[in-house]
């Protein structure tokens, strides 16, 4: 990916670089659920700060812990309605609790380059295969040579495994195995939207790194997109094998202009 491509995607809410919250945390699904459950859909960044730091809705023991939690959740999810990825997450979040783990994972992948670096490793594991912490550590050590101490590498691997487990792509407590995550119209909507932000349209949306998270067949994905369309989550049309996916109301005119710029640099 070119620097120009990264810059344009950054303006649409993605994050890049060499650091990310998974060096210290998982995707914090429980905290996100509590926070979004205690705040209004139209909440501002200031409202989230107040809820976490001042009102302590997440039950952290010290102000320092509350401030760190705000920092990590902000890095993972933005917590800012000016970010189109977070706006989409917030829009879809209350519609189906079962879809929330994949909604959180997709957003965290868009925002945390450390987690994103492990995606291909997880997806290449066959369903039912054992995925040990040591195997994750070996992968991370190869991906980031000489960057992490042994203790940090172990913590990083545990955090990554915890996130993939919470999202349903791994299962088990101590002994992890690769599993098939559940797919829902809400999560398919966000995954297609992320591909759309990345410059894809039409049929190419159904074969992106985002929809690959679900591991479903093209027919299954299209059925879920059709269901999402009937529910007004997106617009999906399929005529004569030509597919069109649109997201009315998801982007401002300026954001749509930037998204079109992405399509020219992909």
Residues 160-183 pLDDT 10s: 999 999 999 999 988 999 999 999
CA distance 101 to 82: 23
Q: Residue 109 falls within a domain, yes or no?
A: no
Cβ-based neighbours of 92, under 8 Å, separated by 6 or more? 99, 103, 186, 187, 189, 190, 233
Same domain membership, residue 168 and residue 123 = yes
Backbone angles phi, psi at 245, to 5 degrees: -125, 130
Half-sphere exposure (Cβ direction) of 20: Cα atoms closer than 13 Å: 24
Instruction: Mark whether 173 and 219 lie in a shared domain.
Output: no
Q: Which two tokens stand for residue 20?
A: 């990310």
Reply yes or no on whether the pLDDT at 147 is more than 90: no
* pLDDT at position 265 over 60: no
**250-263: pLDDT as tens digits:** 999 999 999 988 77
Question: In this structure, what are the phi and psi dihedrals at residue 34, rounded to the nearest 5 degrees?
Answer: -65, -45
Report the alpha-carbon distance of residue 134 to residue 75 in Å, rounded. Answer: 27
Q: Tell whether 216 is covered by a domain.
A: yes
In a domain, 55, yes or no: yes
With respect to residue 106, please indicate whether it lies within any of the assigned structural domains. no
Final residue of a structural domain among 67, 98, 129 = 98
Which of 49, 67, 98 terminates a domain? The answer is 98
Position 18 scores a pLDDT of: 83
Least confident of 79-83, 123-127, 164-168, 199-203: 199-203
pLDDT above 70: residue 266: no
Helix, strand, coil shares of the chain, percent, nearest 5, are 60, 5, 35
For the beta carbon of residue 211, count every other beta carbon within 10 angstroms. 23
Asked whether residue 105 is assigned to any structural domain, the reply reads: no
Rg value, the chain, Cα? 18
Residues 177-215 pLDDT 10s: 999 999 999 999 999 999 999 999 999 999 999 999 999
pLDDT for residue 19? 87
Residue 185's pLDDT is 98
**Same domain membership, residue 260 and residue 225:** yes
* Residues 265 and 5: beta-carbon distance below 8 Å: yes
13 and 91 belong to one structural domain: yes
Residues 260, 202 within the same domain: yes
Identify the domain boundary among 98, 125, 160.
Answer: 98
Pairwise CA distance, residues 241 & 233, whole Å: 22
Q: End-to-end CA distance of the chain, in Å? A: 8
For residues 89 and 142, state if they share a domain: no
Considering the entire predicted model, what is its pTM? 0.95
CA separation for the pair 44, 201 (Å, rounded): 31
Structural domain contains residue 58 = yes
In the numeric block, which tokens belong to residue 216?
């479903």
Are residues 217 and 172 part of one domain?
A: no
Structural domain containing residue 119 = 115-178
pLDDT given for residue 20 in this prediction: 92
Return the bridge partners of 238, or none.
243
Residue 40 φ then ψ, to 5°? -75, 155
Same domain, 144 and 220: no
The pair of structure tokens assigned to 145 is 């040579």
CATH code of the domain in which 190 resides: 1.10.10
Task: Look at residue 104 and tell me if it is in a domain.
Answer: no
- pLDDT tens profile 24-62: 999 999 999 999 999 999 999 999 999 999 999 999 999
* pLDDT beyond 70 at 264: no
Check whether residue 208 and residue 228 sit in a common domain. Answer: yes
Domain count, the chain: 3
142: Cβ contacts below 8 Å, ≥ 6 apart? none
pLDDT tens column, 214-248? 998 889 999 999 999 999 999 999 988 899 999 99
Which pLDDT score, from 0 to 100, does residue 46 have? Answer: 97
DSSP 61: S
């Amino acid at each position: 990916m070119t620097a120009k491509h990264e810059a344009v995607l950054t303006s649409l809410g993605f994050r890049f670089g060499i650091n990310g919250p998974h060096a210290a945390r998982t995707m914090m699904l429980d905290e996100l659920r509590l926070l979004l459950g205690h705040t209004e859909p139209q909440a501002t960044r200031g409202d989230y700060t107040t809820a976490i730091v001042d009102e302590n809705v997440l039950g952290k023991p010290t102000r320092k812990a509350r401030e760190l939690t705000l920092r990590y959740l902000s890095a993972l999810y933005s917590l800012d309605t000016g970010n189109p990825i977070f706006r989409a997450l917030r829009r879809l979040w209350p519609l189906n609790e079962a879809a929330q783990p994949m909604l959180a994972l997709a957003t965290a992948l868009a925002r945390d380059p450390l987690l994103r670096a492990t995606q291909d490793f997880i997806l290449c594991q066959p369903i039912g295969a054992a995925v040990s912490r040591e195997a994750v550590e070996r992968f991370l050590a190869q991906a980031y040579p000489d960057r992490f101490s042994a203790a940090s590498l172990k913590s990083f691997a545990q955090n990554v495994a915890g996130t993939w487990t919470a999202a349903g792509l791994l299962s088990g407590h101590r002994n992890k195995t690769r599993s098939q995550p559940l797919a829902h119209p809400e999560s398919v909507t966000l995954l297609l939207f992320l591909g759309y932000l990345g410059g894809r349209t039409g049929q190419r949306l159904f074969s992106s790194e985002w929809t690959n998270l679900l591991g479903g067949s093209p027919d299954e994905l299209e059925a879920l997109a059709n269901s999402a369309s009937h529910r007004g989550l997106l617009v999906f049309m399929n005529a004569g094998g030509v597919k069109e996916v649109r997201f009315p109301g998801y982007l401002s005119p300026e954001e749509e202009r930037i998204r079109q710029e992405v399509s020219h640099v992909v």
